Amino acid sequence: MEAFSLLLYGFGVLLTWKTLALMMVGLILGIFVGVLPGLGGPNGVAILLPLTFTMDPTSAIVMLSCIYWGALFGGAITSILFNIPGEAWSVATTFDGYPMAQQGKAAEALTAAFTSSFIGSLVAVLLITFLAPGIASFALRFGPPEFFAVYLLTFCSFVGLGREEKHKTLISMALGLLLAGVGMDTVSAQLRMTFGWSELYRGINFLVAVIGLFGISEILLTMEERLALRGHAASISLRVVLRVWKDLPRYWVTLIRSSVIGCWLGITPGGAIAASFMGYNLAKRFSNDKESFGKGRIEGVFAPETAAHASGTSALLPMLALGIPGSGTAAILLGGLMVWGLNPGPLLFVEHKDFVWGLIASMYLGNIVGLMLVLTTVPVFASVLRVPFAAIAPMIVVSCAIGAFAIQNAMFDIWLMLVFGVLGYVFKKIGIPLAPLTLAMVLGSRAEDNFRLSMIGANGDLRVFWSNGLVGSITTLALVLLFWPAISRAIALVRK
């Protein structure tokens, strides 16, 4: 029940006019960003981050996380009405969502998408509310070896379980860790990899890289494609909403299954993309009527949307409890935390109760308000797509530049952003994943610090990573996951 009273406390923090107004602003900006082609969750959050620099951390995180919820809701609008997935995790939503729109059932599809997003998020937030404090207080006992082992586990599971080619994931991760190391070494205060270039002394800022990698590169990619689009306009009437909601209990198995998949893949770095496809495929496999999937079945909208949102939300659990982001967007929020002067990790729950519980409460409220908002304003946001891309593209470029400059007041960062933009464009096109790079950049220096602190504590003996049951099992699990492809192949061979 302690979680419950703390949650009430969180609502208390939240319920001021200023915070509520920021929440609305965040949601509207987020939906806007989600609907616009070439922008989505991580980009939107990265670009709008500078708006929050002068706010107090609680208002800042509330607004940023609302941008994220808004973007998640907005992504569904374009998937269903225009067959354009705003994000990779909305791809599965188009399978049945767009056919429904074509059959004149756009309003039903949208209601189903928004409602299931809401349910998915709600399950994940409940999980965060009741699980995160426990995990955090457990993690308070962690020392440097344990933390390093957890970081290692995160990195290894990305390499071992990711769907991309292993060497590409490895490249992305090693590059990210190297970039994180540029500048002043925090332990010995020596300069590294700066080549005497004074601009590099302060290091390569993670957020500058993110704005380039996600914002600028996305503009380049979007521009490359044909920008003509054709789709349906839709408005949602109360009658449709009530009809869809009345049928909702019939799909409880699908909703629960997708929520569980989503939460699991969100906490482990499987991610929302895998979750949405898995949710969809499992719903199809367990259905009595497999043929009707892909032809406009409402269950085909429920399943991926619930899973994607459960995953997107639960990715914040490891971020809050351990300081380890479960997704690209969570990594950016984590970057924001550091800008606002907070130290991510289990101590957040002790030292910054306002912040943590305000954020958790805002997840509840943000999702409810977001649901109401999208249900009532779909036509407005769908017509945002009428704005020509030639007007939007330069505005996004300007916003990115503002964002990059604002972080450290450095012109050099604008150039750096541009370099990362081109890099992101090339990497995306040849299939080098960007998520590991993002994660490595944000965790890199802390992983290294913890490694070196462990080494100092153990006089350079690597056996410290197996010195007790906890750290030993985490390290071993990390290595197993790293070599998982080889291990699973070996198991398959033995079985034969």
Partner 1 sequence: MASSDEEIVVGDPAAPPVDSPPVASKRSVELVVYLCLLGLAALLAFDNWRTGMGWESTGPKAGYFPFYLALILAGASLFGIVKELAARAKDSETFVNRDQLGRVLQVLAPTVAFCLLTQWLGLYVASFLLIAGFMALVGRIAWWKSVATALVFSVLMFVTFEIAFDVIMPKGPLEALLGF
Cβ closest to partner 1, residue 333 vs residue 400: 400
Q: CA end-to-end span of the chain, whole Å?
A: 51
Q: Which is nearer to partner 1, 320 or 385 (CB)?
A: 385
From CA 105, how far away is CA 344, in angstroms rounded?
A: 45
Between the alpha carbon of residue 316 and those of residues 130, 210, 248, 325, the distances in Å are 13, 18, 27, 6
Q: Are 354 and 346 in contact (CB under 8 A)?
A: no
User: What residue ranges in 240-292 does DSSP mark as E strands?
Assistant: none
CB of 318 to partner 1, least distance (A): 23
Q: How far is the CB of 429 from partner 1 (least distance, A)?
A: 6
Alpha-carbon gap, residue 408 to 412, rounded angstroms: 10
Please identify, using beta-carbon distances, which residue of 220 and 260 lies nearer to partner 1: 220
CB of 233 to partner 1, least distance (A): 4
CA–CA gap between residue 268 and residue 318 (Å, rounded)? 9
Burial of 362 by CB count in 10 Å (0-12 exposed, 13-18 middle, 19+ buried)? buried
Cβ proximity to partner 1, 386 vs 495, nearer residue: 386
Least distance between partner 1 and beta carbon 438 (Å): 16
Q: How far is the CB of 40 from partner 1 (least distance, A)?
A: 18
Q: What is the DSSP letter of 16?
A: S
The angle, 0 to 180 degrees and rounded to 10, between the axes of the packed helices 91-102 and 106-139 is 160
Least distance (Å) from partner 1 to the CB of residue 416? 10
- The CB-of-174 to partner 1 minimum distance in angstroms stands at 4
Nearer to partner 1, 137 or 237 (CB): 237
Q: Give the other-Cβ count within 10 Å of 3's Cβ.
A: 17
Residue number, 224 or 351, with CB nearest to partner 1: 224
Of residues 388 and 469, the one with the C-beta less far from partner 1: 388
Q: How far apart are CA 427 and CA 380, in angstroms?
A: 35
Q: How far apart are CA 484 and CA 490, in angstroms?
A: 10
